[in-house]
């Protein structure tokens, strides 16, 4: 069993820690708001007073935070992860951040005699709880092979995508499609609804039709009732859409459906829905259509 560390104990991070604890690993964790970690401490997680303390206590350090700025905050400085790394350790960042900045961090980790991979995941809390999460990895093959057994305990599908940063590119490419699919699904529901078909029946038909991706199956019903706690909120999704648009500009890849969907996320922000799950794009489109939730 490995000595692991985990920085960033949000919804997904907490569930990952629970899985790692259930496999018998020792996990030391840190979160900016300690109260969110209390249930994990009760389940056997050790508490670290800072990202540095977590890195010092672990052989493999994981992190999962909201964006590049948050990653910089936990990595840099006298109490950051870098300060706690000693030669031979590994750092696995699961956050969805700028591939360019992730490569900068990886270079600093290697300068400490350690190695880093970016390992974003595809799936939701439900996917994770069901043991169906997939993990994309960017980094050296040698490090990948060493870390793969632990990553397989987070999700059953672990794929080396390429060098550092490329797993993040793959994650961004995946997430843009989630939002685009949700907007298209909402259009279909509203077209049926305004024609006289009940929303419930429209959703039932669509989530069992040829267009029903795994995401549509579990998120489609959110047009009937949003979850009490967002699985992936508007703010988080728009961050990924903006990363996608930035990457598209750099690579000269036109992204028309991403750009349009991003505007609906902006509209959701303007309507005060930023903390809702990104499935709330249905509400934006519904209001434009004269339909109330």
Query: From the candidates 171, 194, 217, 239, which is the catalytic residue?
Result: 171
Is-catalytic flag, 3?
no
Q: Mean pLDDT throughout 59-65?
A: 97
Which domain covers residue 259, as residue numbers?
169-289
pLDDT of amino acid 124: 78
pLDDT of amino acid 48: 96
- Write the DSSP string, 138-157: ES-HHHHHHHHHHHTTT-SE
CB 5 within 8 A of CB 55: yes
Residue where one domain finishes, among candidates 147, 162, 177: 162
- Residue 1: pLDDT over 80: no
User: For the segment 112-150, what is each residue's pLDDT rounded down to a tens digit?
Assistant: 999 999 999 988 777 788 888 899 999 999 999 999 999
Instruction: Tell me the torsion sign for CA atoms 110, 151, 33, 276.
Output: positive
Q: Which of 75, 77, 170 is nearest to 121 (CA)?
A: 170
pLDDT of amino acid 132: 81
Whether residues 72 and 158 share a domain: the answer is yes
Cα–Cα distance, 162 to 76 (Å, whole number)? 25
Residue where one domain finishes, among candidates 162, 179, 201: 162
User: For the segment 66-75, what is each residue's pLDDT rounded down to a tens digit?
Assistant: 999 999 999 9
Whether residues 93 and 115 share a domain: the answer is yes
**What is the pTM assigned to this prediction?**
0.88
pLDDT, mean over the chain: 95
Strand locations in 54-178 (E):
60-63, 90-93, 115-118, 121-122, 134-138, 157-162
Write the CATH number for 229. Answer: 1.10.1040.10
Whether residues 21 and 55 share a domain: the answer is yes
Domains identified in the chain, total number: 2
pLDDT of amino acid 11: 86
Helix (H/G/I), strand (E/B), else coil: 35: helix
Tokens found for residue 2:
């490995």
Residue where one domain finishes, among candidates 162, 186, 220: 162
Over pLDDT 70: what percentage of the chain? 100
């Amino acid at each position: 069993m490995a000595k692991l560390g985990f920085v960033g104990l949000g919804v997904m991070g907490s569930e990952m820690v629970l899985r790692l604890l259930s496999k018998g690993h020792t996990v030391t964790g840190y979160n900016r708001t300690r109260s969110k970690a209390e249930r994990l401490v009760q389940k056997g997680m050790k508490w670290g007073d800072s990202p540095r303390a977590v890195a010092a206590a672990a052989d493999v350090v994981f992190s999962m935070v909201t964006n590049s700025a948050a990653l910089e905050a936990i990595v840099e400085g006298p109490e950051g992860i870098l300060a706690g790394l000693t030669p031979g350790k590994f750092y696995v960042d699961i956050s969805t951040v700028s591939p360019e900045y992730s490569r900068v961090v990886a270079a600093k980790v290697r300068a400490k005699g350690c190695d880093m991979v970016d390992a974003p995941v595809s799936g939701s809390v439900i996917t994770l709880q069901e043991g169906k999460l997939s993990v994309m990895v960017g980094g050296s093959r040698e490090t990948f092979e060493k870390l793969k057994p632990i990553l397989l305990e987070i999700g059953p599908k672990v794929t080396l995508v390429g060098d550092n940063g490329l797993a993040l590119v793959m994650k961004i490419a995946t997430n843009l499609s989630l939002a685009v699919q949700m907007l298209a699904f909402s259009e279909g529901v509203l077209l049926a609804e305004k024609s006289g078909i009940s929303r419930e029946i429209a959703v039932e038909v669509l989530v069992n039709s040829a267009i029903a991706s795994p995401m549509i199956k579990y998120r489609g019903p959110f047009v009937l009732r949003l979850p009490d706690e967002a699985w992936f909120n508007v703010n988080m999704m728009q961050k990924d859409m903006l990363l996608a648009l930035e990457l598209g500009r750099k690579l000269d890849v036109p992204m028309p459906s991403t750009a349009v969907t991003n505007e609906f996320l902006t509209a959701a922000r303007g309507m005060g829905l930023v903390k809702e799950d990104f499935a709330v794009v249905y509400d934006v489109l519904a209001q434009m259509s004269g339909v109330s939730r």
